[in-house]
Structure 1
Amino acid sequence: MSEKNREGKRSARERMLEERAADEARAKRNKKLGVGGVVAAVAAVAVVAGVVVQNQRSKPETPAAAPLGAIGDKKLMIPSGAANAPSVLTVYEDPRCPACGAFERSFAPTIDRLEDQGKLYVNYHIVSFIDRSLGGKGSKNGANALACAQDAGHFRDLHDVFYRNQPAETSDSFANKATLIKLSKQVNGLDTPAFESCVNDNKYGGWVSAVQQDFDKSSYKSTPTVLLNGTPVYPKNGDEPITAENLVKWVDAANQGKPLGTTGSGNESPAPTTTASEPNTPPSP
């Protein structure tokens, strides 16, 4: 075989080996790209799934039903008093909260009187976080019963009855719906099949959960939280401690020169009625 032929065969063999090496390198590269693409795709799916899950967790719950006359975003607040009153008191309370009970027993007569005078419009957020902290259902069942009373136009009456008869926080007596119904009989107009069915069927359970979820998203972490025209006033308004006398003074100062609220303004809660245990006569200052 001539040298020329041998050189030609060697060149052909070398080209073949080079092409085979190139093919193998290309195959390895494609395999890596394929694996990387799958990993990237899986990661992308995981990210999307994580966003969806997070969105589902953080998405506010919209109640299927809200009590009659509830106001605000998603109707999560229960109003009391004339909607055109010159001052607004915002109150966050839990039915099981002992500090809320102490606040109401001290201030309910004054707040009710300011409402009746057209000086104050009160917006209640009835929260239920103590059930989550201590276990039980007293906060939720109590809140649902108050929503049921709002339907019947007796929210304020039952609210005041509940806090005057509030059990110890750890006893969770309000979890017993029969106890709630028994207390409601102190309010004229609540001894009805419609109210009892609303309580027993937990009609506003979704609304109660939505109110608590809204509280969780807020900057407020304890109850009672009380704001007068957006300014915190419990336990103090600036340097002054809250007292019944100071609350009247603060409201009168905020209302100076403004007309008093009147019924028939459009958004007020149903007019309060008397209770079987106490006539609704304005208390002395």
Structure 2
Amino acid sequence: MAQADNKQQNKRISARERIQEAQRREQTAARRRQRIVVTVSAVAVLALAGGVAVAINSAGKDDQKSSAEAAPSTALVVPANASGQDGTVITYGKADAPHTMEVYEDFRCPVCKEFEAANGQTVRKLTEDGQIKVQFHLAAFLDKALGGKGSHTALAAAGAALNEGVDKFKAFHDVLYANQPDERNDGFGDVNRVLELADQVPGLKTDAFVKAVTDRTYAPWAAKVADAFNDSGVTGTPTIKVDGKSITLFSGRSAVTPEQFTAQVKQAAGL
């Protein structure tokens, strides 16, 4: 039994190390993109000043690709029930709750899965008295870091669930994490697998939902949500803030207990 526990622990550590390395690569790419934008802007200003039209070749093409390129070139459709700037935030709980918990996640992130398994239900319970609302900020950087399209596909499907209702989104969100494939296996990139998981949410799999997932109706929105995460300044997932204060999610190699998590949230919110 001890040997099996050690193997499982080593697997979690390995997954976390892979995610941390992926996050470091994404941060490096983001800094490179910023430098390119500054350089291009400067050249454009000089060109305008001289009355000259300039065509600029993009150096480091792969790094300049935005999340939007993972989406088909269709019109942007924002799901019903989206909130926040440009509809890139998903608010769960009472919109007028006085305190805000911000949750930053990527559906392919195994460390997010570990946190959700330990405290996902606690997050739900903390909204029940109407004092705290949850704002989900979803990422898709692991598609670039690890290859594939699972983060974007799952996020677009989550948009279709959100269009059916916030409660449907939350239930689908929980099902995705409970059935998350190894992050190196792009399981969520298969639309049929995503639709299969939707069967676990009662009432979710309407004709409209299936069509939206199959047609990738919310893929441009998912790209916009992912870009908003990239611009948020948050450097890793999962990250949780309550009224702007960061919450500790792991103690050593294990997720904090529901009691520890709840105590931190209430302290941050002054409850």
Taking structure 1 as the reference length, the TM-score comes to 0.66
Alignment of 1:2-13 (within 5 A): none
Q: CA deviation at 1:235?
A: 3.2
The answer on 1:76 being equivalent to 2:82 is: no
For 1:214 and 1:79, the matched residues in 2 are separated by 15
For 1:253, the equivalent position in structure 2 comes to 267
Q: Where does structure 2 lack aligned partners over 5 or more consecutive residues?
A: 1-45, 57-63, 69-74
For 2:213 and 2:66, the matched residues in 1 are separated by 27
For 1:178, the equivalent position in structure 2 comes to 192
Q: CA deviation at 1:96?
A: 0.5
What secondary structure sits across from 1:116 in the alignment?
coil
The answer on 1:201 being equivalent to 2:211 is: no
Q: CA deviation at 1:117?
A: 2.6
For 1:191, the equivalent position in structure 2 comes to 205
Amino acid at match of 1:179: R
Taking structure 2 as the reference length, the TM-score comes to 0.69
Amino acid at match of 1:72: G
For 1:100, the equivalent position in structure 2 comes to 112
Q: CA deviation at 1:58?
A: 11
For 1:41 and 1:163, the matched residues in 2 are separated by 50
Amino acid at match of 1:204: Y
For 2:169, the equivalent position in structure 1 comes to 155
Alignment of 1:47-58 (within 5 A): none
Amino acid at match of 1:94: D
Aligned partners of 1:233 and 1:242 also within 8 Å: no
The answer on 1:67 being equivalent to 2:79 is: yes
For 1:141, the equivalent position in structure 2 comes to 153
Larger radius of gyration: 1
Q: CA deviation at 1:41?
A: 7.7
Aligned partners of 1:167 and 1:174 also within 8 Å: yes
1:233 alignment partner, one of 239, 244, 247: 247
Per the alignment, do residues 210 and 41 of structure 1 end up closer, same or farther by CA in structure 2, a change over 3 Å counting? closer
For 1:60 and 1:181, the matched residues in 2 are separated by 23
**Greater RCO (CA < 8 Å, at least 6 residues apart):** 1
For 1:230 and 1:72, the matched residues in 2 are separated by 16
Aligned partners of 1:86 and 1:255 also within 8 Å: no
Deviations 1:103-158 (A, max 9, x none): 11111111111112323200011111111111111100000111110111100000
What secondary structure sits across from 2:114 in the alignment?
helix
Q: CA deviation at 1:217?
A: 2.2
Aligned partners of 1:119 and 1:251 also within 8 Å: no
Amino acid at match of 1:69: N
1:213 alignment partner, one of 211, 227, 251: 227
For 1:161 and 1:60, the matched residues in 2 are separated by 24
Kindly tell me the number of residue pairs found equivalent between the two proteins.
211
Aligned partners of 2:153 and 2:188 also within 8 Å: yes
Amino acid at match of 1:44: G
Per the alignment, do residues 165 and 213 of structure 1 end up closer, same or farther by CA in structure 2, a change over 3 Å counting? same
The answer on 1:117 being equivalent to 2:129 is: yes
Q: CA deviation at 1:214?
A: 1.9
Per mean C-alpha deviation after superposition, the further-off stretch among 91-100 and 80-89 is: 80-89
Per the alignment, do residues 135 and 256 of structure 1 end up closer, same or farther by CA in structure 2, a change over 3 Å counting? closer
Q: Where does structure 1 lack aligned partners over 5 or more consecutive residues?
A: 1-39, 51-56, 258-285
What secondary structure sits across from 2:108 in the alignment?
coil
